[in-house]
Structure 1
Amino acid sequence: MSNLYDVTIIGGGPVGLFTAFYSGLRSLKTKIIDAEPAVGGKISYFYPEKIIRDIGGIPAIAGHELVKNLHEQAKTFQPTIQCGERITELFKLPDGTFQIISETGKEHYSKTVIIAAGSGTYEANPLEASGSETFADQIFYDIKNIARFQDKTVIVSGGGNSAIDWAQTLEPFVKEVHLIYRGENFKGHEERVKELHDSSVYVHVNHEITALQGNLDELTTCVIHCNKDGNTSRLSADAILVNHGVKVNLGSMLDWGFETSDYGITVNQEMETTIPGIFACGDIANYPRKMRIIAAGLHEGPIALNSAKNYLDPSADEVAMVSTHHESFDKI
């Protein structure tokens, strides 16, 4: 079967891309399938301009640059990359081959499958405030061009790492940044929270946005309510950036036969699912003390791939040769 792959990776985000590179190190015929029009996963979808700081050896990098680098790295061993194809069905055939079917009916065949699909599909939780429909064009859930906010007053709503990162990323470019959080203690990393309080970002804890106001469809004012004393304040505003989390949907993956949990697919320390030959890594993989950060996923991908290699060939080495000394690089 000419279209039979050793490994098919479902998901072309950072973890899927790096896993494809590592698969090449292990000389496996590899395919990546992603539902979106291009690779990059949640980074490309939500924050291509955001600065990412939690990957070892990379002090700071814009999301789109990280995706570009990972894409180039993934192509080292020339895997097949197929975008715009959402997988809806997965079956294990009697001979052990996996049949993977997209919503268009296209069929893919693979000896093993690694699921690196993030948290499935994403839908941003909307801003629930009076006037949000009127000023929809000034409400953003991601930023693909940070220059459009030059010299504007931007209100960021949210209390997690993403909201904190965006507030600090915007700070050098905009006139003012206000960060609105309905709670008291931010959910971000401690050092990032400290940096936030030391910055020029105006921080409003125990507040939430209740209304947007303006002239016709031009936003001018953001109304915030204090949950402690009940007072209402008005802030000048040109744009609102909402970081209220996302609704995730595993979709048809819940019906593929392996064990799942509230947070994704259950795996063991080898990144094995409960179906032999299917592995998972990245945000979608769930196990005790899971960390959902890119760096963790970049570690889990090679584990999943090594497990797939040993599933195909139990006599194979448990890990690949160190990439620096891999014989393939002598030819590149």
Structure 2
Amino acid sequence: MNTEKLDIYDITIIGGGPAGMYAAFYSGMRAMRTKLIDAKEELGGFMRTYPEKLVWDVGGVDPIHCEKLIDSLIRQAKTFDPTIVLGQEIARMERRDDNVFVVTSKTGESHYTRTILLCAGRGMTQIQKLHIEGASRYELNNLHYTITDLSRFKDKRVLISGGGDSAVDWANEIVKLAKQVTVVHRRDEFTAHEQPVAQMKASAKIMTPYIISRLYGAGDRIESIALEHSETGAIEHIEADEVVVNHGFDRDFGDLLKWGLDKEDYGVSVDPRMRTSIPGIFGAGDFITYGSKVRLIAGAFNDAVLAVNSAKLYLEPTASDMAGVSSHNERFNEKNKAIMHE
């Protein structure tokens, strides 16, 4: 096949969450021709599930609503004009004799690239819903699996079920507005980070170890909930105006895990330089795992930098180990002039 007639990129990033978006920016700093592909019709990845949530742990950024952080990351990702392809779930991968990868979407489009960076995050997530008879009829009213408008909880009695980071973070946000917040978890210990858990315990009513066993309502609104003690089976009843369930997500990576990549229980294995078991394919963000992996947005940014640097060296072994810092990087000269002019 004549490679001159093909549109071949230096790097193709699969996944448009924080790792993928920052990688698109950083690969531009490295003067790499970049394509970013996401299965959804908008960038943002898993962060789109909690747009109203306040994010505190990104370096140098004041507490910011997730939706605004996504907007900033999108603008940054577009700094060097990468090609962005939305609505294409990548399925197949093959390497040609000339070492060019061909990745093909489920809709049949093919993309040609010299390296691949997998930033698939948590994959195509599906919310774990309540498996309780009749629960679905309340979903359009006061049973919530995600939150897009915090104001609806003002002066309400709110019950939250879950013990992970999202459930705890929502409790800490909602308690500022609600009349009362009760957090129910099936175990005594919460899996979220220590400080938010301590904050939640100081401001919300905690009921452990309990699970939701039945919902009682009128029409399409929940009015009260039966809670069952996980150890004794004893039943407690509590009235609530709004119910938030955050029991996690089922992860589906589609065909990406069929490529022959080494993997562990929680992600595709990479080495300290974000290299997978297949030369030329790299990983970043929640999709990957390694010994010192940090599962924070800030950690995804660092993964992205390491992965892009490795991809650059894979293509050009004599290239510098990293991009020049922005204050001295000639890629920003004209952009800095434009900003100063404004």
Which category of TM-score, normalised to the shorter sequence, fits these structures?
A: over 0.9
User: What is the CA deviation profile of residues 262-320 of structure 1, one whole-angstrom value per residue up to 9, with x for unaligned ones?
Assistant: 22211111111111111011011111242222111110101000000001100000111
Say if 1:128 and 1:210, in contact at 8 Å, map to a contact too.
no
1:273 aligns with 2:276: yes
1:304 aligns with 2:307: yes
Counterparts of 1:133-144 in structure 2, within 5 Å, are 133-137=136-140, 138-144=142-148
Say if 2:285 and 2:300, in contact at 8 Å, map to a contact too.
yes
User: What is the CA deviation profile of residues 77-135 of structure 1, one whole-angstrom value per residue up to 9, with x for unaligned ones?
Assistant: 11111111111111111111111111110111111100001022111111133431332
Of the three residues 91, 105, 108, the one matched with 1:105 is 108
Deviation, 1:56, is 2.1
TM-score by length of 2: 0.92
Deviation, 1:228, is 4.5
Deviation, 1:2, is 5.4
Say if 1:119 and 1:264, in contact at 8 Å, map to a contact too.
no
1:177 aligns with 2:181: yes
**Aligned AA (2:308):** L
CA RMSD of aligned residues (A): 1.5
Aligned to 1:192: 196
SS at match of 2:255: helix
**Aligned AA (2:298):** A
Of the three residues 9, 13, 19, the one matched with 1:9 is 13
Deviation, 1:324, is 2.6
1:23 aligns with 2:27: yes
2:286 and 2:152 mapped to 1: Cα distance? 31
1:178 and 1:314 mapped to 2: Cα distance? 57
% same residue: 39
Aligned to 2:162: 158
Of the three residues 193, 207, 211, the one matched with 1:208 is 211
Aligned to 2:338: none
1:216 and 1:298 mapped to 2: Cα distance? 47
User: What is the CA deviation profile of residues 44-94 of structure 1, one whole-angstrom value per residue up to 9, with x for unaligned ones?
Assistant: 1x1111112222223422111111111111111111111111111111111
Aligned to 2:319: 316
2:301 and 2:192 mapped to 1: Cα distance? 21
Say if 1:89 and 1:100, in contact at 8 Å, map to a contact too.
yes
**Aligned AA (1:313):** E
Say if 1:154 and 1:240, in contact at 8 Å, map to a contact too.
yes
1:124 aligns with 2:127: yes
2:27 and 2:128 mapped to 1: Cα distance? 35
Aligned to 2:75: 72
1:228 and 1:60 mapped to 2: Cα distance? 39
1:63 aligns with 2:66: yes
1:89 aligns with 2:97: no
Deviation, 1:231, is 2.9
1:224 aligns with 2:227: yes
SS at match of 2:116: strand
Deviates more, 1:254-263 or 1:143-152: 143-152
Aligned to 2:339: none
SS at match of 1:56: coil
User: What is the CA deviation profile of residues 142-188 of structure 1, one whole-angstrom value per residue up to 9, with x for unaligned ones?
Assistant: 11222333333221110111110011111223332211111111111
1:237 and 1:283 mapped to 2: Cα distance? 35
1:168 aligns with 2:172: yes
2:152 and 2:6 mapped to 1: Cα distance? 48
SS at match of 1:48: coil
1:179 and 1:59 mapped to 2: Cα distance? 27
TM-score by length of 1: 0.95
Deviates more, 1:254-263 or 1:17-26: 254-263
1:233 aligns with 2:240: no
Count of equivalent residues = 330
Say if 1:131 and 1:213, in contact at 8 Å, map to a contact too.
no
Deviates more, 1:76-85 or 1:226-235: 226-235
Q: 5+ residue gaps in structure 2?
A: 336-342
Say if 2:144 and 2:244, in contact at 8 Å, map to a contact too.
yes
**Aligned AA (2:117):** I
2:248 and 2:12 mapped to 1: Cα distance? 29
Of the three residues 30, 38, 46, the one matched with 2:42 is 38
1:75 and 1:133 mapped to 2: Cα distance? 40
SS at match of 1:37: coil
Deviation, 1:9, is 0.3
2:197 and 2:122 mapped to 1: Cα distance? 26
